[in-house]
Amino acid sequence: MDKKISKIYSGLNGEITIPSDKSISHRAIIFSCLAEGTSVIKNFSNGKDPLTSLDICKKLGANIEFRDNLYITSTGKLTPSENTLYCGNSGTTMRLMTGILAGQNFNSILTGDESLSARPMKRIITPLSLMGAKIISNNEKAPLKIYGQNLNGIDYKSPIASAQVKSSVLLAGLFAQNKTTFTEPHISRNHTELMLKYMGADIATSGLSTSIFKSELIPQTFEIPGDISSAAYYITAALLIPKSKIILKNVGLNPTRTGILDVVQKMGGNIIILDKRNISGEDVGDIQISYSNLNGCTIEGEIIPRLIDEIPAIAVLATQAEGTTIIKDAQDLRNKESDRIKAIANELKKLQADIQETPDGLIIHGKKELEGGIEVDSHNDHRIAMSLYVAGLICKKEINIKNFEWVNISLPEFENLFDSLIL
């Protein structure tokens, strides 16, 4: 499906509630299958990726009912109805499930679509193998054949800060003998640690290290906050479009995910947090954003894991900032659904942005008016598609985005929410 986008002159105004967090939705459904009893999930994500995790949990024996909320009843033991489990486009599903399945008493195979099958899995195979896992891969990529084994805890120092790798190892630690410790070079998103603690796991974090012992989980009620990665597109659009002032309701404000807010403030963006609170162990609040004159900045180091998914949207923002924005240490963007460094650089260049890719990031010179009048490509990547949509809202001429339907991977409500903010 192609999508045509034209410049907005009236500004964005009003309030919207951001749909539920994809990362937390994945974890709530997967972890609930490991707890004996019934868990309740309020505000579960409608994105294709979390629905993929839900389908796999059904095939692993969980009884799942949609009523006013999502109810998951489990024996706490996985009982697969089939051994081949399809993860679609979801790297989170594949990497988290690999950690869980490695310590079971049955064998399984995890497969994915063409994009997921090209993504690196060595990052989880290496530490899990050190724990005693037996995983056969296709040149360290999916499909993954997992032979259930008795696992032993390890003390693992990860070369990268990755929430998916960390989660995979900690989940394997739920089934392993002795303590499992995972240490990362910078803090990555910590939804797994918070949720496992909320469910009664024997888990503790100190600095950059998290340790877990074999544990039984207790079913809980989860209220999923709005996804700050989804909020990023409305934040950047409101900052860039004159006469805009919006409020985003119920956004997750976990400190390991709010790097984009820190960058916006560093660039001079007008952004205010309202009604901050804690729900189901996660910080939540409302965000008010107004049109702003922005300045370029350097984004590097420990903040990168806290905004890794938002970098394509930040690149669009940087095209309209005075001066130069430099993004470093983001080489892992090349291992996402697309090579996001190359993809966003190539597509914004088509719009006449002054942007160049580097091995680990981007250099963007602003302020440069975007021309439009051309077709751009989503690269079959939801975050590239949504970032280009925001760019289209400020281009002089209409743009056409190829394969825009990939937004449904994480945010099927994307367009309707934007439409509600346009006067």
Q: pLDDT digits over 218-246, tens only?
A: 999 999 999 999 999 999 999 999 999 99
What are 3-54's pLDDT values in tens digits? Answer: 999 999 999 999 999 999 999 999 999 999 999 999 999 999 988 999 999 9
Measured over the CA atoms of residue 94, residue 388, residue 386 and residue 114, the dihedral's sign is negative
**Residues above pLDDT 90, as percent of the chain:** 96
Tell me the average pLDDT across 197-205. Answer: 97
Give the type of residue at 423.
L
Distance in angstroms (rounded) separating the CA atoms of residues 228 and 310: 9
Confidence (pLDDT) at 127: 98
Distance in angstroms (rounded) separating the CA atoms of residues 292 and 238: 8
- Residue 44 near residue 5 (C-beta atoms within 8 A): no
Confidence (pLDDT) at 1: 87
Catalytic residue among 286, 309, 332, 377: 309
| Identical fold between 3-20+225-421 and 22-223 | yes
8-state DSSP, 234: H
91-101 and 48-59 helices, crossing angle to 10°: 30
Tell me the average pLDDT across 307-336. Answer: 96
**Residues above pLDDT 70, as percent of the chain:** 100
What are 237-278's pLDDT values in tens digits? Answer: 999 999 999 999 999 999 999 999 999 999 999 999 999 999
Tell me the average pLDDT across 58-70. Answer: 95
Mean pLDDT of the chain: 96
The fold adopted by the segment(s) 22-223 is UDP-n-acetylglucosamine1-carboxyvinyl-transferase; Chain (3.65.10)
Confidence (pLDDT) at 363: 98
Check if CATH label 3.80.10.10 holds for domain 3-20+225-421. no
Q: DSSP of 52-110, one letter per residue?
A: HHHHHHHHTT-EEEESSSEEEEEESS---S-SEEE-TT-HHHHHHHHHHHTTSSSEEEE
Concerning whether 309 is annotated as a catalytic residue, the answer is: yes
Phi then psi for 283, rounded to 5 degrees?
A: -70, 135
Tell me the average pLDDT across 206-214. Answer: 97
Tell me the average pLDDT across 370-390. Answer: 97
Report the phi/psi class of residue 272: left, alpha or beta, with left for phi > 0 and alpha for psi in -120 to 50: beta
Confidence (pLDDT) at 61: 97
Confidence (pLDDT) at 191: 97
Q: Quick check: 409 pLDDT over 90?
A: no
Q: Quick check: 423 pLDDT over 80?
A: no
Model confidence, pTM:
0.90
Confidence (pLDDT) at 410: 85
What are 152-180's pLDDT values in tens digits? Answer: 999 999 999 999 999 999 999 999 999 99
Confidence (pLDDT) at 133: 98
Domain ranges (residues) in the chain: 3-20+225-421, 22-223
